[in-house]
Amino acid sequence: MATRAVLQAFERYQKERVAFVSAVAEMAKNPQNIEALQQAGAMALLRPLLLDNVPSIQQSAAMALGRLANYSDDLAEAVVANEILPQLVYSLSEQNRFYKKAAGYCLRAVAKHSPELAQAVVDSGALDSLVTCLEEFDPGVKEAACWCLGYMAGHSPELAQQVVDAGAVPLLVLCVQEPELALKRVAASALSDVAKHTPELAQAVVDAGAVAYLAPLVVSQDAKLKRQVCSALAQVAKHSVDLAEVVVEAEVFPKLLTCLKFPDEFVRKHAATLVREVAKHTPELAQLVVANGGVGALVEYAADSAGNNALPAVMALGYIAAFSETLALAVIAEKGLPPLVAALAQEPEDHVKAATAWALGQLGRHTSDHAKAVADTGVLPTLVALEASPSSSEDLSTKARRSLKSIVSKLTHLPALDALVHSPLPEGVMRLVLEQAGKVLANDAAGRSQFVHSGGLAAVQQLAEAPGSKLKEAVEVINSAFPEEIVRYYSPAYSRQLLEKLDAAAATMTAAPAVA
């Protein structure tokens, strides 16, 4: 009888522990309960349950702690301060697969918040245990380890290097080859987080053979996997010509371009980013993108996108156009100007406008034909307005001014120059416009007549007469293309001189009878 009473007491104690930890783990799913759980001292009560002799209680306690840590960096710091990490790390190598998944989740929830918390996870000895988990049979355990390693590596080059030094990269590459989609996704994401920091870390990913296994997954129909694969390849390609060529040699083109039409917006954005990171390095790589139909795909994507989603395509078009007049002409021929002009006028974010202004400058800076193509879109007044606007960021103002100078220095289309003469330009840009207009007018008889009729010559004379003007030398060059009488006629002083002559004549006529 006494034995049965003792056993019943212990059974009731176990049931209550199970009920408590299960309830806390369930309540921790709801963010509204987190503060109440914290105030009730849930973390201190959960910590000893990690050492419970019942595996299901250990697992639920780890899951509950993970959900608490996931909520905020303050709670994650509390997990570290309560010395919970060493127990989790110990259990990763000792317990069953269910507990390992829960422990991995908890470590990931701590590591994700900041480099300092990620370093605390590393300092607890978690790296070696997590790498060992990548060799487990159960894909859920591998996935939990991949998540945690990715979060750690993503914070800084130093943490990513520790992940590499622990031997994680080759095992992450093996995880990419596993049949489970969820595992493929998170392994590709972790490789991306390693590769993004430095050329050396990207090279470590390449040396492990990652690109050869990632590249074929570009054609996967799973949106989340496509996102991570495109991101990982972009993070490799961005660092150097050699690394970009490794990605190209894996035959990602032209199949990558189909991703620019994929329904998922993040797939499209990451694919455009990858195209940009390849095209930016050399004329040869830019030409490869063009030869595979990349410009048309980028233009179509830029036209259908907005904001930060459109940014990679805008920059890719700018990089391609920057290399040579032939490549810039390819962008113009594929109707690349209209979406750029529209973005410059409509985008609310200054950094997107700045990138667009820069891209337009790269398109117009090569020859007079390129400059005319840009000017014909009517975008030059928009660049003028953005350069002068007090609400424009410093970067936008600078890029708009530089693009104006690049385009105007090649512009021989007189109507476009004439329109700029009538615009309120900064003195440096106006001087460039006048100098360019002077070169064109010197060799264009029909243009000189047109310049007079449009009021351009009169506007030029007023610019020279403005107080403190430094434009007189450029105006003199323009004036030298016209007869002296015409220049004098349109001079602001000419009407004043006529009035003085009229007043003098009137005075003479009035005085004449008195003399008689």
How do residues 78-87 score in pLDDT, each as one tens digit?
Answer: 888 878 888 8
Confidence band of 445 (pLDDT split at 50, 70, 90): confident
pLDDT for residue 99 is more than 70: yes
> What is the reported pLDDT for 507?
67
Q: Where are the domains of the chain?
A: 253-411, 421-493
How many CB atoms lie under 10 A from the CB of residue 510? Answer: 9
Choice between 483 and 301, residue whose per-residue pLDDT is larger: 301
pLDDT at 516: 40
Instruction: Identify the H or E element spanning 423.
Output: none
Mean pLDDT computed over 461-469: 67
User: Which of 202-216, 295-309, 440-454 is predicted with the least confidence, judged by mean pLDDT?
Assistant: 440-454
DSSP per-residue codes, 128-191: HHHHHHTT-S-HHHHHHHHHHHHHHHHH-HHHHHHHHHTTHHHHHHHHHTSS-HHHHHHHHHHH
How long is the chain? 516
Mean pLDDT of the 218-226 span: 92
**Residue 284 CA: distances (Å) to CA of 137, 236, 248, 288, 360:** 45, 18, 11, 6, 21
Provide mean pLDDT across the span 154-169: 93
Query: pLDDT at residue 248 above 80?
Result: yes
For residue 73, pLDDT over 60 is answered with yes
pLDDT, position 268: 94
Of the pLDDT bands very low, low, confident and very high (cuts 50, 70, 90), residue 497 is low
The answer to whether 295 and 340 have CB atoms below 8 angstroms apart is: no
Taking residues 28-33, what's their average pLDDT?
Answer: 81
State what percent of residues in the chain have pLDDT above 90: 44
Looking at domain 253-411, which CATH architecture does it have? Alpha Horseshoe (1.25)
Residue 287: the pLDDT is: 94
**Residues 390, 399: Cα–Cα separation, whole Å:** 14
Specify whether the CB–CB gap between 59 and 102 falls below 8 A.
yes
The model carries a pTM of: 0.84
* pLDDT-derived band at 513, boundaries 50, 70, 90: low
Mean pLDDT of 12-41: 81
Q: What is the pLDDT of residues 328-387, one digit of tens each?
A: 999 999 999 999 999 998 889 999 999 999 999 999 999 989 998 998 888 888 888 888
